[in-house]
Amino acid sequence: MREMINIALPKGRLGESAYRIFESAGYGCPDVLSDTRKLVFEDESCAVRFFWVKPSDVAIYTERGAADIGVAGLDILLEGEHDVYELLDLGIGRCRMAVAAMTDFEDNAGCTLRVATKFPNIAKKYYLSQGRDIDVIRLNGSIELAPLLGLSDVIVDIVETGTTLRENNLEVRSEIVKISAMLIANKISYRFKNRRICELVERIRAEGIGND
């Protein structure tokens, strides 16, 4: 019997797109996309086991070996500095990590910049590279509200279309990094299940995905 490959998918739209990539590469598994409360789906003929987890937890499951491979946004990987392999850029969930501010905000380089964000590590690293002193305000959601209410000067957040920013009188001031979903692998599984993981990566590549 072939050894099972455990794959962690992020719940939501990104995970569904990622699953379709696995399916088209020949790793389909019935019912994964069905409306059920089941969390684990297995297909013995393909020797794969999929499970849905919170997007921010995919890298943790993979790093600790509960999943052999997973799909995680580069934002989560950069923020958590997880010790995993980043095997492929799947090219889905494309967006960018950016600094945004009110359209009339004038930055004074002499003052400490107040930065509201869900990604404190990315923000700190970015401003450290700029040599700028910042005060990080860690929030868990509705980051755009922070500059509107004077809680922060700028925000560091994910920008997809920019509509939310525009509607709130905010604009992108600089781009930090381009984000997309990555196929990640546990470093130990990569060694002990090397043949199967490499085969999976090659089959996804053969679908024209991740060819850089």
Partner 1 sequence: MQNETRYFSKAEKVSAECREIYSGYGYKQYNMSRFEEYDLYAANRDFLIGDSIITFTERGGRLMALKPDVTLSIVKNAACEGGRQEKVFYLESVYRTDQSSSEFREIMQLGLECIGDIGLYQTGEVVALAAMSLSVISKNYILDLSHRGFISALADRAAIYGEARGELMRCIGGRNSAGVRSICAARGVAPDLTEQLAGLTGLYGSMTDIMPKLELMSVGEKADAALAELRSIYRILEEFGCAERVNLDLSHTGDMKYYGGVTFCGYIENIPFALLSGGRYDGLLEKFDKPGGAVGFAIYLDRLSSLPEPKSQYDVDILLVTQECDGAEVARAVEKLRRSGRSVMAVRKISKGGPRCREIVYIEKMKDSDGEVSGRKGYR
Q: Which residues bind partner 1 (CB under 8 A)?
A: 63-65, 83-89, 182, 185-188, 190-192, 194, 210, 212
Q: How far is the CB of 205 from partner 1 (least distance, A)?
A: 10
Nearest distance from residue 87's CB to partner 1, in Å?
6
Nearer Cβ to partner 1 (111/198):
198
Evaluate whether 124 touches 135 at the Cβ level (below 8 Å).
Answer: no
Of the pair 84, 165, the CB lying nearest partner 1 is at 84
Q: Name 168's Cβ contacts closer than 8 Å, sequence gap at least 6.
A: 144, 145, 148
In single-letter form, the type of residue at position 185 comes to A
Q: What angle do CA 195, 198, 202 make, to 5 degrees?
A: 135
Please identify, using beta-carbon distances, which residue of 133 and 192 lies nearer to partner 1: 192
Question: Cβ closer to partner 1: 81 or 104?
Answer: 81
Q: Residue 55 carries which DSSP code?
A: G
- In angstroms, give the least distance from the CB of 203 to partner 1: 15
Task: Report the sign of the C-alpha dihedral through residues 69, 156, 95, 163, in that order.
Answer: positive
Query: Minimum CB separation from partner 1 for residue 90, in Å?
Result: 10
